[in-house]
Amino acid sequence: MENQENELIAFTPANQLDVTEDILAAANRRIAQLDKIVKLSISRTNQNDWVDQGGKPYLTCSGAEKIARLFGVCWKDVKSEKIISSDEQGQYYFYEFSGIFTLGSDSITAVGTCSQKDQFFAKSGGKIKPLSEIDETNIRKAAYSNMVVNGVTRILGIRNLTWEEVKDGGIDKSKAPKVNYDKKEQDNSKISAAQYNRFYAIYKKSGKTEQDVSAFIAKFGIKDPHDLLAKDYNSVIAWLEGGE
């Protein structure tokens, strides 16, 4: 009896649903299994396997590899190509990797790319780096990593997770590395606490009144400086420091 209780019964992976089953029941089962996959996947990772990118959790290649091992995701026939392209600023290259990802009997083709113009590699201090300063191996590796992450997350159906879902799996957003591109001009996220503190220090020194500040930041559609967007931050600081 004891032995019977401990009999191990493997459950069917999410991708091998019996197509003859009632579609609704199968869909419900798939949702339940997907929840399980998400939870198990996240539990396999740690905070270093996630990056906070523009407020969204981005799984790194190391995290994707751990999850792939858990579920037995395989990839093969990986091909890479360096593609030369051009735009109004001239010629540039990007790497494209593609590979066939399999999980049980399912398979997909996943693609990963990374361009010489990728902000992470191409910009420093708000300026475009000269070509000689961009390491091509980094671009190639990033494209490969991008393919692995895309392939693993797509075949398992764990794309577009939110920080809430990731947090449920025990990953602390505040401990995950944060990618800060040179994003002053396009970042729609609010300023950080450190930026606010700097703003406050400069404001106190500026001789401007609270009313002055309220009137100025109203131009950005906000009443409280805590709500300043990163992209507007430099304009406010410049104004406090004596600019127009």
Residues within the interface to another protein (CB under 8 A): 5-11, 13, 39-40, 43, 62, 65, 68-80, 97, 135, 137-138, 140-141, 143-145, 194, 197-198, 200-202, 205
* C-beta of 65 vs 165, nearer to another protein: 65
Lateral strand order in the sheet of 50-53: 56-59, 50-53, 178-179
CB 18 within 8 Å of CB 27: no
User: For the chain, what's the residue count?
Assistant: 244
- 117: which residues sit within 8 A by CB, 6+ positions away? 92, 94
* C-beta of 64 vs 217, nearer to another protein: 64
Q: What single letter denotes the amino acid at residue 61?
A: C
Backbone φ, ψ for residue 19 (5° rounding): -70, -15
Closest separation between CB of residue 115 and another protein, Å? 15
Closest separation between CB of residue 60 and another protein, Å? 12
Closest separation between CB of residue 61 and another protein, Å? 8
Closest separation between CB of residue 223 and another protein, Å? 24
Closest separation between CB of residue 21 and another protein, Å? 16
- Candidates 226, 181, 176; CA nearest to 54 is 181
* C-beta of 143 vs 228, nearer to another protein: 143
* C-beta of 193 vs 221, nearer to another protein: 193
The label of the residue with tokens 């019964």 reads 9
- What's the number of CA atoms in the CB half-sphere (13 Å) around residue 99? 24
* C-beta of 144 vs 239, nearer to another protein: 144
CB 13 within 8 Å of CB 106: no
* C-beta of 70 vs 229, nearer to another protein: 70
Q: What single letter denotes the amino acid at residue 71?
A: F
- Give the DSSP H or E segment for 85: strand 74-87
